[in-house]
Amino acid sequence: MKIRLLDLSTSEEKEYDWDIEQAWLDQVFKEEDETGEPMFRSLSPMHLSAWLYRNEAEVFFRADLKGEYEYSCSRCLAPTKESLHVEMSGMFRPRADGEFDEPEDPSVFLYANEEVDFSPVIRESIVLQLPLNPVCKEDCAGLCADCGANLNETTCQCEEEKIDPRWEALRAIRDASKSS
């Protein structure tokens, strides 16, 4: 996903198309996951179309990323497919001598050695799209914390046995008022 500056035109946009391999995507997902157990997985290569043009040393781009990935629901662990479609635009400029930090502006990227590398753009675009607490559906009931039953598919006896103490107090009041 590298392009030599010399290949870019200053007069018109040039289109590039890449298939982004699953191994590379899985690496991005893995880095994003702090638990060590990968929550996100790639299902197939993603596709990136990018349009670039150059103005002196600055390279402007817009790009369109499409693909699919899979995750385990954070409540019930069900494997869930999600599609991803990101449109982005920004620019590359040469890294200055002694410039080690990345620019604060998220749409500005640096390059060196007369070559722009699209990998950080793609990585950032994907990472920003990933949900924090991915669920299989908004109202997923999750797993029972006691017996592990999937509460979307079944009910378990745990809740009935475990009466919330606040309700217990209310019931006592109700029973008391009945008997008086």
Query: Of the listed pieces 24-32, 67-75, 86-94, 124-132, which binds Zn ion according to CB under 5 A?
Result: 67-75
Q: Of the listed pieces 10-18, 54-62, 98-106, 157-165, which binds Zn ion according to CB under 5 A?
A: 157-165
- Min. distance of Cβ 25 from Zn ion in angstroms? 23
Residue numbers 137-156 binding Zn ion by CB under 5 A: 140, 144, 146-147, 149, 156
We find the least distance from the C-beta atom of residue 81 to Zn ion, in angstroms, to be 13
Which H or E run contains 64? strand 58-72
Single out the residue of 149, 100, 122 nearest to residue 49, CA to CA: 122
Torsion of Cα atoms, 36 then 40 then 42 then 47, to 10°? -120
> Contacts with Zn ion in 69-98 (CB under 5 A)?
73, 75-76, 78
Find the shortest distance in angstroms from Cβ 137 to Zn ion: 6
Burial class for 134, CB neighbours closer than 10 Å (0-12, 13-18, 19+): middle
Determine, following the binding rule CB under 5 A, whether residue 39 of this chain makes contact with Zn ion: no
Look at residues 121, 20, 125, 26 and name the one whose alpha carbon lies nearest to residue 70. 26
Question: What whole-number distance in Å separates Cα of residue 79 and Cα of residue 30?
Answer: 17
**Binding of residue 20 to Zn ion (CB under 5 A):** no
Footprint of Zn ion (CB under 5 A): 73, 75-76, 78, 136, 140, 144, 146-147, 149, 156, 158
